[in-house]
Amino acid sequence: MTKYILALDQGTTSSRAILFDHAGHLHACAQGEFRQIFPQPGWVEHDANEIWASQLSVMRQVMHDSGVAASEVAAIGVANQRETTVLWDRATGVPVANAIVWQDRRNAAFCEQLLEEGKAELIQQKTGLVLDAYFSATKLKWLLDHVPGARARAERGELAFGTIDSWLIYKLSGAHLTDTSNASRTMLFNIYTQQWDADLLALLDIPASLLPQVVPSSGVAAHTHAELLGVSLPIAGIAGDQQGATFGQACLKPGMAKNTYGTGCFMLMNVGKKPLPSKNRLLSTVGWRLGDGPDSTDYLLEGSAFVAGAAVQWMRDGLGIIKHSSEVEALASSVPDTGGLVFVPAFAGLGAPYWDPYARGTLIGITRGTGKAHIARAALEGVAYQNVDVLSAMQKDAGIALSELRVDGGAARNDMLMQFQSDILNVPVVRPEVTETTALGAAYLAGLAVGFWSSLEEIAAQWRVARRFEPTMADDERLSRLHKWQRAVERSRDWSE
């Protein structure tokens, strides 16, 4: 009798492996960080081999430490940092260069050129995405144009492109594939036809032979090499991390929304069985596809702020004002307010709804009395303020007033931040018992495919509240704070030349 689903949660700064039981409870977890590579300002890279080594290591560690036999695992689900781009040799499996990470801004000028050529509307109409360096397509084009010999080798069919899900599945099984949720983040995939788009490939001069096969998010897609865990296991769930978290939060009906506080902040709302084009510079994206029926796909609206947990890491590693990320709440709570300080965490530009790659992090309102606790509090508040801009755009697009926001990710465990988020949004914020919802979503997708769970209704019934934060801030104070935030955002914009 299989008792567990193994979820691989490959994130921007760490790889995790988590075993979930039939009740959706976390049975065991292992985590390992890997290097962040910053070759130039605005550039962010990963070594894809290090990602694989860290993921394999934690996968073996969680099995070993938990004492669970591989034969007790029904299936594997994969969730991944999205848009990060890997290009590798099909014959040897060796990457031709470092992976270009989703945060990387090296293609901002090329995206501006496409914008000036009037290509943004074509891209949005086909992909649901805003033309931006965030997505995989221009990263892949950069690799083809700048790695010696890469374009010629690609045209000969010698190279393979993939986002991190594709890279992991290739290393796990030898198969070259991706799912609809990850494909929809490349800026090469038509979310209406659910096919790679010939016009977009031509526009960016990308050979179709590079691309992985697109499969449903839930379904047995491949089987692992038996030598990895001693038994070959089905890979049956695949989702980009934010779509996975939305599924794990059981946002299975239109109008339900969640926000993940990871390296960045990602707010997603279920909009039903058809894409909803955004008029407010949000992304329309595939949520998941369950099998092959005409109504098998759910679509989402998404707004992302590029920096959330990364602001806390910066206070730890860059400023040295905390030793461990977990200390930030106590430090921020040691002062009653920010002392007039406002922090715009635009380290990698501003995401939705601004899409300004030239914005930079801004700390404004510093006085002689400003101390490290004020900076910590302003950083946490800055993370929350960004989400007001996103939710406002989302409610305008969907025509739905949000009744509650489900939250997850590391910083969702910070009570001070969650209370401030509820106050500044003027919406209840609800934290579930299981906050590892990205991995849980991948597990649910895999378990559905192999009959470990029987239905969406069974999954929805497993979602349980741990804590609910209700808004308490007076309207005039909230509006005054938001006005100040907007002034600070304007000062951060278009800074980098």
Q: Which residues pair with 364 in a beta bridge?
A: 342
Residue range 166-177: average pLDDT?
98
E strand segments, 227-370? 234-240, 257-261, 265-272, 283-289, 297-305, 342-344, 362-364
The pLDDT value given to residue 280: 87
- Contact predicate 408/435, CB 8 Å: yes
pLDDT > 90 in the chain, percent = 84
In a domain, 292, yes or no: no
| Rounded Cα gap, residues 224 and 201, in angstroms | 31
Residue range 47-56: average pLDDT?
98
Residue range 194-222: average pLDDT?
97
The pLDDT value given to residue 41: 86
- Contact predicate 422/470, CB 8 Å: yes
Q: Taking phi first (over 0 means left), then psi (-120 to 50 degrees means alpha), and beta for anything else, what does residue 409 get?
A: left
Q: Over the range 181-203, which residues count as b (16 or more CB within 10 Å of their CB) and which as e?
A: bbbbbbbbbbbeebebbeebbeb
| Rounded Cα gap, residues 67 and 61, in angstroms | 10
Is 242 one of the annotated binding-site residues?
A: yes
Is 134 one of the annotated binding-site residues?
A: yes
Is 13 one of the annotated binding-site residues?
A: yes
In a domain, 387, yes or no: no
CATH number at residue 177: 3.30.420.40
The pLDDT value given to residue 239: 98
Is 82 one of the annotated binding-site residues?
A: yes
| pLDDT tens-digit map of 306-324 | 888 889 999 999 999 999 9
pLDDT > 70 in the chain, percent = 100
| Rounded Cα gap, residues 185 and 80, in angstroms | 12
Greater confidence (176 vs 305) lies with 176
Q: How far is CA 404 from the centre of its chain?
A: 21
Is 263 one of the annotated binding-site residues?
A: yes
Burial class (CB in 10 A: 0-12, 13-18, 19+), 238: buried
The pLDDT value given to residue 317: 92
Q: What is the mean pLDDT of the chain?
A: 94
* Confidence band, pLDDT 50/70/90 cuts, at residue 401: confident
| pLDDT tens-digit map of 389-399 | 999 889 889 88
Q: How far, CA to CA in Å, does 34 sit from each of 14, 46, 52, 342, 418?
A: 6, 8, 10, 31, 28
Residue range 26-54: average pLDDT?
95
> Which residue from 9, 37, 182 is spatially nearest to 95, judged by alpha carbons?
37
| Rounded Cα gap, residues 23 and 482, in angstroms | 41
In a domain, 198, yes or no: yes
Question: If you ran DSSP here, which 8-state letter would residue 3 be given?
Answer: -
In a domain, 484, yes or no: no
Is 309 one of the annotated binding-site residues?
A: yes
Q: What is the DSSP string of 94-106?
A: -BSSPEEPTT--T
Q: What is the DSSP string of 469-492?
A: E-----HHHHHHHHHHHHHHHHHH
Residue range 7-22: average pLDDT?
96
In a domain, 226, yes or no: yes
| Rounded Cα gap, residues 5 and 27, in angstroms | 10
Check whether 271 has a pLDDT greater than 80: yes
Is 313 one of the annotated binding-site residues?
A: yes
Using omega within 30 degrees of 0 as the cis cutoff, is the peptide bond preceding 353 cis? yes
In a domain, 478, yes or no: no
The pLDDT value given to residue 308: 87
Is 246 one of the annotated binding-site residues?
A: no
Residue range 204-214: average pLDDT?
97
* Confidence band, pLDDT 50/70/90 cuts, at residue 61: very high
* pTM for the structure as a whole: 0.89
The pLDDT value given to residue 118: 94
Count of domains in the chain? 1
The pLDDT value given to residue 210: 97
> Which residue from 388, 457, 454, 460 is spatially nearest to 420, judged by alpha carbons?
388
| Rounded Cα gap, residues 446 and 247, in angstroms | 12
| pLDDT tens-digit map of 72-87 | 999 999 999 999 999 9
Kind of pairing, strands 86-89 and 159-162?
antiparallel
Check whether 402 has a pLDDT greater than 90: no
| Rounded Cα gap, residues 123 and 485, in angstroms | 31
Check whether 247 has a pLDDT greater than 90: yes
The pLDDT value given to residue 454: 94
Is 166 one of the annotated binding-site residues?
A: no
In a domain, 169, yes or no: yes
Check whether 487 has a pLDDT greater than 90: yes
In a domain, 458, yes or no: no
End-to-end CA distance of the chain: give it in Å, rounded: 60
* Range of the structural domain that residue 77 is part of: 4-241
Is 410 one of the annotated binding-site residues?
A: yes
Report the run of H or E that residue 6 belongs to, with start and end.
strand 4-10
The pLDDT value given to residue 364: 96
| pLDDT tens-digit map of 323-362 | 998 899 999 999 999 999 999 999 988 888 888 888 999 9
- Contact predicate 354/489, CB 8 Å: yes
